[in-house]
Amino acid sequence: MRGPHNIWRLIRTGATLERTGAMNVVLDAFEATPAVRFVARALGLPFKFLGYKGDPSMPPATRALTALGPAYIKFGQVLSTRPDVVGDDLAVQLRVLQDKLPPFSIQEARAEVERELGLPLDQMFSEFSEPVAAASIAQVHKARIADTGEDVAVKVLRPNIERAFRKDVDAFYLAARMVELFSPGSRRLRPMDVIEHFDGVVRGELDLRLESASASEFAANTTEDQGFQLPAIKWNLSARRVMTLGWADGVPLGDNAAIDAAGHDRVVLGDRVLHLFLNHALRDGFFHADMHQGNLKVAPNGDIIAYDFGIMGHIDEYTRRVYAEILYGFIRRDYMRVAKVHFEAGYVPADKDVDEFARALRAMGEPIFGMDATHISMARLLSYLFEVTERFGMETRTELILLQRTMVVVEGVARSLNPHINIWEVASPIVTDYITKSIGPRAALNDLANTAMVLARFGPRLPGLVEAALLRQSNPQPEVRNSRIGWMLLSALGGAALASGAIALMVALT
């Protein structure tokens, strides 16, 4: 990539990994070849004295990334969602990465808010506190709106954070190219794709308008969800580098003593966390992908409040149905159905043996279901499932990995509230309800109606499309040309008939 700073940054990175003892951890996690190990050591070992010391109380990998700064901390967070790339052990270490940095001054924050919103801060807010939380990209201040007296949280990006991230991401791209060059076998991990994914995540988080839009969409989807709240976005006090939303007043979900003291039922809260996540993932296909205790509170009325919408997950309708059928098959212990769903979805190559795959699923599932119900982990089951599918040639699907990672976090939150929770018993009604509504005659009719609506939108263009197709015919054999023309006319007329018929049927049913 461009600029000599990339080489210097990689040398400083290697030196820090060596000094903190993280070099071997990282190389082992990525299954580095001897050639990559040689290059990495050449960039780090001779310059070890240049490395940052970091916090010795942290594990080596988190110690190194924290010492290297915001871009590396955020990179570690993103990698924690990719156990397929870094392995389960390192993913667990990175998952608990403390994303905390020294805050920047309140004077800088006030100046940034005024620049972005175009008004004197005192005209917008009657109160504006010192930072209450500081992370790798932004920090949060508690404030009070001057006009209404409402308490709000004001999130402000760090000064010059875009430039700092751009410089480090350039170095990441160079490192990925070097890995691909010196270790062709590592290309199955797609290092360039990993960096591109990270680059996209960061670009989204560096524009707080996008996070505001995610929060707004999430709120629209969950309006009817009982026992769930989201702080409202204040669009008139938000911009690219500043986001203002309602203040989330409540007890941290990770503080069981405070929850008990407030009189909340932790069993009910544990069930609700799992219900909410499954509903958002299956019903909406849009879910909070960072649902740890630090982003959740319990309101005085017992509602769960979620905030921090920088990482959201999206699953299309087809993938949701596949995921639900897989869960439903496991709930019923119908391993052949689970196997067939994988083949039908194209997750497992068609040349593999479906019976052999079903037996592998049974060998994985039966020992788990033989446990006491309170020890059955859906997250562990999904993790094992990915191991089996990998052996059968399933390609990595980022959206499923993010879903699985979030499932691990949500299950951990639920168990921290209620150690005796039966995950499958709680999940079964949600999954069964989704299956009932999404698979069957009514679901097929809805799919047909949606297809018909798309065809209907093209109705006015059908004559022109048919005429253009006729003019493009250049086959010298009349019978072939006539056959093609006939098929096109039949398709056009059939599409129009299908559209009108399906729409009429839906109108009649409603």
Question: With bands split at pLDDT 50, 70 and 90, how would you rate the model's confidence at 370?
Answer: low
**Is-above-0.75 flag for pTM?**
no
10-66 tens-digit pLDDT: 888 888 988 888 888 888 776 677 877 887 777 777 888 888 888 888 888 888 888
Q: Which two tokens stand for residue 132?
A: 């209450």
Highest average pLDDT, of 213-217, 309-313, 412-416, 422-426, comes from 213-217
Q: Which two tokens stand for residue 161?
A: 């954070």
228 by DSSP, 3-state: which? strand
Comparing 97 with 240, which gets the higher pLDDT? Answer: 240
Domain ranges of the chain: 5-98+164-185, 248-439, 441-509
The whole-number pLDDT of residue 286 equals 94
User: Contact, 47 vs 15, CB < 8 A?
Assistant: yes
Question: With bands split at pLDDT 50, 70 and 90, how would you rate the model's confidence at 215?
Answer: very high
Average pLDDT across the chain, whole number: 80
390-446 tens-digit pLDDT: 678 766 566 666 777 788 788 888 888 998 888 878 888 888 888 777 766 666 666
Would the CA dihedral through 182, 185, 187, 191 be positive or negative? Answer: negative
292 by DSSP, 3-state: which? coil
Section 284-300 average pLDDT? 90
Question: With bands split at pLDDT 50, 70 and 90, how would you rate the model's confidence at 376?
Answer: low
Rounded Cα–Cα distance for residues 297 and 303 (Å): 8
445-479 tens-digit pLDDT: 666 666 666 666 666 776 776 667 667 765 555 54
Q: Smallest Cα–Cα separation from 426: which of 269, 237, 236, 205?
A: 269
Q: Smallest Cα–Cα separation from 452: which of 486, 484, 497, 493?
A: 497
Q: Which sequence positions are flagged as catalytic? A: 290
The whole-number pLDDT of residue 386 equals 66
Rounded Cα–Cα distance for residues 350 and 342 (Å): 10
The whole-number pLDDT of residue 422 equals 81
Outline where 83-140 has alpha helix (H). Answer: 83-86, 88-95, 106-117, 121-124
Section 338-342 average pLDDT? 90
Rounded Cα–Cα distance for residues 68 and 54 (Å): 8
DSSP annotation string for 38-58: HHHHHHHGGGGGGS----TTS
Q: Smallest Cα–Cα separation from 416: which of 303, 252, 230, 229?
A: 252
User: Contact, 307 vs 231, CB < 8 A?
Assistant: yes
Span of 37-41, 77-81, 212-216 with lowest mean pLDDT: 77-81
The whole-number pLDDT of residue 509 equals 46
Comparing 299 with 432, which gets the higher pLDDT? Answer: 299
The whole-number pLDDT of residue 480 equals 47
The helices-and-strands tally (H runs, E runs) of the chain is 23, 10
